[in-house]
Each structure stands twice: as C-alpha cells, then as structure tokens.
Amino acid sequence: MNRDWIATARTLSEALPYLQRYSGAIVVVKFGGNAMGDADAMAQFARDIVLMKQVGMNPVVVHGGGPMINEMLGKLGIESKFVRGKRVTDQATVEVVEMVLTGLVNKRIVQAIMDEGGRAVGLSGKDDDLLVAEADDPELGFVGRPVEMNVQVLRDLFNAGIIPVVAPVATGMSANETFNVNGDTAAGAIAGALKADRLLLLTDVPGVKDGSGEVVTQLSPAQVRDMIADGTIAGGMIPKTETALDALDKGVRAVVILDGRLPNASLLELFTEHGAGSIIREPR
C-alpha cells in the first residue's frame, strides 16, 4: 500500500481530538503579508479556511492590503506623508484605501474561498456598523481605532454556513466618516467582540523571538509585557503583541502569532500537538 496514503490516514486519525475540541469554535484569522500576492499561497490559505468550516468551525477572515494600497496610490500620483513612521491618511487616501481593500483585495479572497468549494461573503467594517471607529491620532487623519462593534452580522453568516471575509475599513461616529483601521487591530477587535476561541495573526516571521533569536512557542501575557518593557519585543512585533494582549483582555481564549508563509500554518496550529508560532494565553 502507498506509504503516502498510510501517512495521510494516520494524520487524520491523530487530528481527531483537535477536530473534536474545535467543533463550533470561532477562529478569527488575520491574513496579510507576502502570501496575499502569491496565487498558490492564496489558494492554500483558502483551502485551509474551507477545511475549518467543513469540520464544524466558524472561521472569520480579516485581511490587510498595504502593498496593493501603495501600488494604487502610486498609479494615481497621490503622495504619502508619514508621521512617526505612520501614513497620514487624508480624504483622497482613505478613498483609495476603501476602494482597494473592499473592491480588490476582499473580492480576491472571497473568490479564492469559493474556488476551493467554500461559501464566502465579503464585508467591510462599514457594513451593518460592524466596526465603528474614532480617530486614533488627529495628526494621522482618517486612521481609526474601533470603539464599537456589531458582530451579529457575523453570527448570522455562521448560521447560514457562510465564511465572512472582512476588510478593515470602518465607519465613523459622525456622518459620512470613513476610517482606515490596521488589519491586526481590526482582527483583534472582532475576535474580542465574538469572544473567539482563537485569534491567528499570520505574519512574515515565525513568531515571537527571545533575546537569543529563538521562537518562544508559549507565552503568558505577563511575559509579553516584560519582553516589551525590556526591549526583547521590538519594532513591528510590538503592535501585534499589544493586539494579542487587548484581545485576551476582551475574552479571546488564546492568540497565536505565526508564519503565514508556512504551508498549512493555520492547520498545523489548530490540529497538531506541535502547533506553529507563538501562542499567548493565560497560564493553565
């Protein structure tokens, strides 16, 4: 008998306890990075999401799209200004952000999921007031942080057997306001409002590293705060870990920062004993 078939059957058998554990669980997955621009990686990601739904989980995909936004701004001749390393988002820029995220990136992901046999619906945070935001920093213009969430629309889609795919564009507290929201921040806010079992933050790095450069596979919130304070966690990992801490405070059971470039990264994390990346949760 073909050894590959035997290995596949063994893998499925070993996954059974994890499949049972996550039956009915809500898992919010932040998708971004280099995988978004690669057709094969996109298809692989979509297949993983469809499998989650097929085995009884309720996945929500929240995506970014920075490189596509940069490309479109360049084509339109809109120059970006930065304050403390963050893009100032004026009215012209936020219109491009909304167009790219909701009209281009979101629909590519929806189509990829549909191509793999799933059912998906694309939303932005503006739909049914899913994300209501206020200005995060007045100097940055229309860059927002969520202050209100209405996740009932997501629960309705779960019940209909549909996978929600969310673009991180939010409505404002005032009429006709639109805010660009960081994808990780949006995913954390949605996961917190849903009291999700897992928040998976797919990145372009293997996970949270210690002072010697080794990935730490399990972390408590206290350890994360200490690593931020002493500079072990630095740069772009700071906002990701802060998103994780905030999500845990709001009731998410665990947050995992993992390498989205790794094939089947989400499945490795959820359905194997080894897992993938760095899991952050309260000690058991």
pLDDT tens digits, residue range 176-200?
889 999 999 999 999 999 999 999 9
Provide the pLDDT confidence category of residue 237 given band limits of 50, 70 and 90.
Answer: confident
Alpha helices in 146-273 (DSSP H): 152-159, 183-194, 221-229, 237-249, 265-271
For residue 241, is it within any domain? Answer: yes
Residue 275's Cβ-side half-sphere holds a number of Cα atoms within 13 Å equal to 17
Q: What is the pLDDT of residue 14?
A: 72
Q: What is the pLDDT of residue 176?
A: 82
**Average pLDDT of span 95-120:** 95
The answer to whether residue 72 sits within a structural domain is: yes
Helix H or strand E encompassing 30:
strand 26-31
Q: Any binding-site annotation on 251?
A: no
Confidence of residue 284 (pLDDT cuts 50, 70, 90): confident
Kindly indicate the confidence band of residue 15, based on its pLDDT and cuts at 50, 70 and 90.
low
Whether the per-residue pLDDT at 1 is higher than 60: the answer is: no
**Of all helices (H) and strands (E), which one includes residue 200?**
strand 198-203
Which residues, including other chains, have CB under 8 Å from residue 174's CB and lie 6 or more apart? none
State how many domains the chain has.
Answer: 1
| CA distance linking residue 24 with residue 254, whole number of Å | 16
204 in a structural domain = yes
d(CA 187, CA 199): 8
Select from 222, 219, 282, 217 the least CA-distant residue to 252.
282
> pLDDT at position 2, please?
59
Query: Using 50, 70 and 90 to split pLDDT, how confident is the model at 226?
Result: very high
Q: What is the average pLDDT value for the chain, to the nearest integer?
A: 88
Contact 275, 282 (CB under 8 A): no
Asked, for residue 75, whether it belongs to a domain, the answer is yes
Q: Stretch 52-76: mean pLDDT, rounded?
A: 91
Write down the pLDDT at residue 242.
92
Q: Is 74 assigned a ligand-binding role in the annotation? A: no
- 70 annotated to a ligand binding site: no
pLDDT in tens, 112-145: 999 999 999 999 999 999 999 999 888 899 999 9
Give the least confident one: 35-49, 78-92, 108-122.
78-92
| pLDDT of 162 higher than 80 | yes
Evaluate whether residue 11 is within a structural domain: no
Residue 274 has pLDDT above 90, yes or no: no
Kindly state whether residue 13 falls inside one of the protein's structural domains: no
- Give the pLDDT confidence score for residue 37 in this predicted structure: 72
The domain in which residue 93 lies consists of: 22-280
Which pLDDT band holds residue 212 (cuts at 50, 70, 90)?
confident
Evaluate whether residue 193 is within a structural domain.
Answer: yes
18-22, 71-75, 146-150, 204-208: least confident range: 18-22
Asked if residue 218 belongs to a domain, the reply is yes
CATH number at residue 55: 3.40.1160.10
d(CA 81, CA 186): 23
Q: Is 176 annotated as a binding residue?
A: no
**Quick one: which of 127, 77, 83 has its CA closest to 102?**
127
- Per-residue model confidence (pLDDT) at position 70: 87
